[in-house]
Amino acid sequence: MRELISQAEINALLQGLANIEQAVGQVSGQDALDRLSPPGEPLPFFIPAREHLHRGPWPGLQAINEQFARIAPEALVGLLPQVSDMQAGKVRQHQFGAFLAELPQPSHCYLVTIEPLSGWGLVVFDAGLTLAASAKRFAGASGPAPLDAIDTMSSSELARAGLLLELIISSYNKAWHAFAPLNMVADRLVAQARLAHIAAARERVVSSSFHLPLGDVVAAIHICLPHASLLPLQQVLRCTTHGHLPKPDRYWHQHLTRELQSINLTLAAKLARFDVTVAELLSLQTGDVLPFEAAPVIEATVDGVPLFACEYGTLNGRYALRIDQSLRALEPARSDPHHGN
């Protein structure tokens, strides 16, 4: 068996990929689908095009960033000196390793949750922001942050950094409010950005940069979110303005509802439970009788999930269960920490 392929075979493979890209580039829309696949046959899947499935501009996220750039300086004016207009950069989609390589040093790096989305986010801002906030409070001089600025910061300066983070997150959540209910919450400070494993080095992330002039110093704020975490909101983020959302497909919703309602489930109820020793279990023989009293309330479950509280009895000569209460309706009350107080 050969382990190496010839140069002619390599050229043939490359020529095949080039033909695919040329065919896709010349035809667009429904015409492309008709030419690439005859009617009634499945569409071909091109592995080289897989990386481009979700690429494209996200004007909705850019609008969110611009809104954040407008309201953030108002929130930071009490902490930072000479706060002027913040500039929002373009939304970038690149690998997480590339984002880490471009971060300025030194900088504060905070892990954040992005409820209700899954995954983690990253908020990074220059150490110069913290030094500027401390200089305003203690009437000191601020300038470019030295490389060991974070290691030599006092507890008071680190507390100012935490306060800056709270104001940044609060303003960012307000900017999201008109588009989607994103709630970013600070989790912890990480010593180095490369220790924040919000994604693999080659996985795609969406990063936004904001530049804030502070006199002669220009500080930067970076917000990085995993691309996979934002995919559930891609329809919102691809819209140019709030309210320009695609209408829900009612036919699909009704069809899905009918299909779900036709699924067969097994409703099970345990009438009794016995506690026996190993010796008693080994001594059981055919014909032995195990007496028991049925519990006054029996739980009916589906796949182990309790759904109904029932009573056991007979009806028309058959064993039966009478549903007394729905257990799913009681869950909000049970989850309330103040319930029963």
Give me the sign of the Cα torsion angle 298, 300, 304, 306. negative
| Residue bearing the bigger pLDDT, 286 or 78 | 286
- Asked if residue 19 has pLDDT above 60, the reply is no
- Among 311, 309, 332, 331, smallest CA distance to 321 is for 311
Angle between helix 127-138 and 155-176 (nearest 10): 110
User: Residue 208 — very low, low, confident or very high, per pLDDT cuts 50/70/90?
Assistant: very high
Q: What angle do CA 317, 323, 324 make, to 5 degrees?
A: 125
- pLDDT recorded at residue 171: 92
Give a three-class secondary structure readout of 153-166. Answer: CCHHHHHHHHHHHH
pLDDT digit string, tens, across residues 38-86: 555 555 544 444 444 455 677 888 889 999 999 888 888 777 767 778 8
Q: Which residue has the higher pLDDT, 244 or 319?
A: 319
Q: How far is CA 299 from the centre of its chain?
A: 35
Contacts 24+ apart (CB under 8 A), 81-86: 81/132, 81/135, 81/136, 81/142, 81/214, 81/215, 82/213, 82/214, 82/215, 83/212, 83/214, 84/212, 84/213, 84/214, 85/213, 86/210, 86/211, 86/212
pTM (whole model) above 0.85: no
**What is the separation of C-alpha 24 from the centre of its chain, rounded to a whole number of angstroms?**
32
Does pLDDT of 326 surpass 80? yes
pLDDT at residue number 7: 67
Percent residues over pLDDT 70 in the chain: 70
